[in-house]
Amino acid sequence: MDSNTVLFQVMVYLGAAVIMVPLAKRFGLGSVLGYLLAGILIGPAVLQIIGNEGHDLMHSAEFGVVMMLFLIGLELEPALLWKLRKAILGLGGLQVLITSVIISGIAYFLKLPWQSSLAIGMALALSSTALVLQTLAEKGINRTTAGRSAFAVLLFQDIAVIPMLALFPLLAIAGLSTETAGNEAEAWIEGHGGWMRALIVSGAVAFIIIGGRYLIPPLFRLVASTQLREMFTATALLLVVGIAVLMSTVGLSPALGTFLSGVVLANSEYKHELESDIEPFKGLLLGLFFIAVGASINFNLIFEKPLLIFGLVFALMLVKAIVLLSLGKAFKLRVDQNIIFSSSLSQVGEFAFVLLSFSLTEGIVERGYVEILMAVVAISMALTPIAFFLNEKIVLPFVDKRLSSTIAEKEADTVNEKNPVIIAGFGHFGNTIGRFLRAHGIKTTVLDIDSNRVEFLRKMGFKVYYGDASRYDILLAAGAAEAKMIIIAVDDAEKRLQMIETIKKHFPDLQMLVRSSTREDTYDQMNAGILHIYRETIDTSLRMGVDAMKLLGFRAYTAQRAARTFLRYDEQKLKDLSKIRDNEKEYINQSREYIEELEEIIKADIKQLHLEKDQGWDEDSLIADEKVKKDE
């Protein structure tokens, strides 16, 4: 079969993605790196299935970036932007500005043209939204101060891509030759005078804003009335493609127009439908773009100049980390949170590939420099999981030890208070427990590892101490030797297990009540010998199920009794399943048997209730039943 045919090329790209992306996700590397690895695998460096056509594909797949920015615009509701305005404009804006200036200055000092220096500085100032948000969520620190600050910076960076893309053509016009100089759209816009060009561009932007507000919603209502899902999808794609064509025609970045239209439609009733229809196309095209990037990485260059490439990676990540650390300190992030914040954003992100490829297309940066920087970006992203690991295992424990000892000395007379209950972790889960106990006059000693949260809660009147409850000295200072129980409510499942081991070893008489996030967490805690495990979603899920049954006409007592039966049976079978969790086949078979058995038990219980005409304890049900009898 001819390897140059479209079908063969499609098969190769999709096959590489299907193989490499799941493997990358399994090893915690993220989907973006999976696509890059797929491109490397099929590219000239390894299997050589594709060659220089990777560059051609990159230009087509860049449309996935346009779709991504449309979806980002849809997410930017005014209320969210206003809520995060200080962090977005302050922390995010300063990070992009300062980092861009520093990197651009270094590039200009190395004798690059100022246009190239500025483009490189803007591209390398960005971090990886896909990698960082995924990693923060997986490690359970996305809701900490560091996680929220990182999200704000990433949000500003995503927004900043728009003006950057709009600025790049101006850099090319400023004096460098471009590869797209003969483009018909550019020739059309260039054929008019300066004032006319400004008027045309302003009119196009105004048309997008006004059309998105007043013309697009009626059009979507008309299409939705046909009740044909494929027509709605076609209309959504037509919207994105049409705006991209309009922007290209007037000489602006297509991403700018689609982003603006997304922002305008952020409060539309069709927002979620648009997201669901565009998302698959965006993901596929963006994946192809990253595959093309991986295939186009010049590994011969890396092998020829390893010291230069890895030296640039180290220097770049160091510069970004220093800038972020300084900004975090200026915005009063505590040391531990600041370290997480700065290390998580020190790499270069996926949008750098986009901007660098645009700079090459526009003739702003020479191909040799772009190839070097592409390799630097890819390596910095590949090092991100390693940086998180080293930060978590080496840097943070050392800093935490220093901070804990300092705080312990400062608060020694207060931390040594003896209360019957210790609460480890005072986020939403632990906070609710603490307020409930406090309302009943039960005194507690509260420990939390998020230093910013500690300061915030103190301002609200809570007596909270910074400290890692998995450490023996912190627990001892908090009165664990005299306390009756400890409530372990921290977010991190691994940290909960560390606390359990420390308490079992040093405070065996201290009763533990432990929060659990998933069934896997529950199994781990059962195997660790914990008797009192509290799954954070089970009670809420069953309460919602009870309300659903009541709204469907079941008596409240029947629904409550069914929920208690379900919970009691599920807790019993958890112990059995925890013993066979590593045997997947047996685990699945036993789980299916337990599900069927539980359904039969509940059905039999409800049937028995009807036969006995049990009125139960529920006054509401009795009143409702009596009303029905009178109506009959």
Q: Residue 26's pLDDT is what?
A: 76
Tell me, yes or no, whether 343 and 456 share the same domain: no
Separation of alpha carbons 557 and 196, rounded Å: 75
Q: Residue 55's pLDDT is what?
A: 53
Contacts of 621 (CB under 8 A, 6+ apart): 555, 556, 557, 558, 615
More confident residue, 76 or 93: 93
Q: Is the pLDDT of residue 324 over 80?
A: yes
Tell me, yes or no, whether 469 and 336 share the same domain: no
Torsion of CA 504, 510, 514, 520, to 10 degrees: 20
Mean pLDDT check: name the lowest of 172-186, 200-214, 306-320, 394-408. Answer: 172-186
Separation of alpha carbons 73 and 265, rounded Å: 8
Into how many domains does the chain fold? 3
- % of the chain beyond a pLDDT of 90: 7
Which H/E stretch holds residue 92? none
Tokens 């900043």 correspond to 160
pLDDT category of residue 56 using cuts at 50, 70 and 90: low
Contacts of 389 (CB under 8 A, 6+ apart): none
Tell me, yes or no, whether 360 and 444 share the same domain: no
**What tens digit of pLDDT does each residue of 417-432 get?**
678 889 988 888 888 8
User: Is residue 7 included in any domain, yes or no?
Assistant: no
Q: Is the pLDDT of residue 112 over 80?
A: yes
Tell me, yes or no, whether 460 and 338 share the same domain: no
Separation of alpha carbons 128 and 136, rounded Å: 12
Determine the structural domain holding residue 59 and report its residue range. 55-394
Q: Residue 316's pLDDT is what?
A: 92
Contacts of 223 (CB under 8 A, 6+ apart): 231, 232, 235
Tell me, yes or no, whether 226 and 346 share the same domain: yes
pLDDT category of residue 128 using cuts at 50, 70 and 90: confident
Separation of alpha carbons 340 and 392, rounded Å: 8
User: Is residue 8 included in any domain, yes or no?
Assistant: no
Contacts of 264 (CB under 8 A, 6+ apart): 73, 208, 209, 212, 213
Q: In 3D, which of 61, 63, 71, 72 has the Cα closest to residue 274?
A: 71
Edge-to-edge strand ranges of the sheet holding 532-535: 464-466, 444-448, 421-424, 485-488, 511-516, 532-535
User: Is residue 18 included in any domain, yes or no?
Assistant: no
**What tens digit of pLDDT does each residue of 493-524 get?**
878 888 888 888 888 888 999 988 887 888 88
CATH of the domain at 372: 1.20.1530.10
Tell me, yes or no, whether 554 and 532 share the same domain: no
Tell me, yes or no, whether 226 and 265 share the same domain: yes
Q: For residue 433, give both structure tokens.
A: 């427990």
Q: Is the pLDDT of residue 245 over 60?
A: yes
Q: Is the pLDDT of residue 103 over 90?
A: yes
Q: Is the pLDDT of residue 414 over 50?
A: no
- Please state, rounded to an integer, the average pLDDT across all residues of the chain: 76
User: Is residue 578 included in any domain, yes or no?
Assistant: yes
At residue 287, the 3 state secondary structure works out as helix
User: Is residue 400 included in any domain, yes or no?
Assistant: no
Tell me, yes or no, whether 489 and 567 share the same domain: no
As to burial, measured by CB atoms within 10 angstroms (0-12 exposed, 13-18 middle, 19+ buried), residue 72 is buried
Tell me, yes or no, whether 321 and 449 share the same domain: no
Tell me, yes or no, whether 525 and 551 share the same domain: no
User: Is residue 231 included in any domain, yes or no?
Assistant: yes
Q: Which amino acid is at 625?
A: D
Among the candidates 510, 536, 562, a domain finishes at 536
User: Is residue 3 included in any domain, yes or no?
Assistant: no
Tell me, yes or no, whether 266 and 384 share the same domain: yes
At residue 275, the 3 state secondary structure works out as helix
Separation of alpha carbons 443 and 584, rounded Å: 45
pLDDT category of residue 628 using cuts at 50, 70 and 90: very low
Kindly report each contact of residues 427-432 with a partner whose C-beta sits within 8 Å and lies 24 or more positions away, as own/partner: 427/143, 427/453, 427/489, 427/490, 427/491, 429/489, 429/491, 429/515, 429/536, 430/487, 430/489, 430/490, 430/515, 431/457
Among the candidates 394, 421, 444, a domain finishes at 394
Q: Residue 191's pLDDT is what?
A: 59
Beta bridge pairs of residue 317: none
Distance of CA 146 to the CA centre of its chain: 13
Mean pLDDT check: name the lowest of 193-202, 470-479, 494-503. Answer: 193-202
Q: Residue 323's pLDDT is what?
A: 92
**What tens digit of pLDDT does each residue of 356-413 get?**
877 887 788 888 888 888 888 888 877 777 777 777 777 666 665 555 444 444 443 3
Q: Is the pLDDT of residue 415 over 70?
A: no
User: Is residue 69 included in any domain, yes or no?
Assistant: yes
Among the candidates 536, 567, 592, a domain finishes at 536
Max mean pLDDT range (13-17, 89-93, 315-319, 626-630): 315-319
Q: Residue 184's pLDDT is what?
A: 44
More confident residue, 86 or 122: 122
CATH of the domain at 451: 3.40.50.720
Q: Is the pLDDT of residue 8 over 80?
A: no
Q: Residue 3's pLDDT is what?
A: 57
Tell me, yes or no, whether 531 and 611 share the same domain: no
More confident residue, 370 or 622: 370
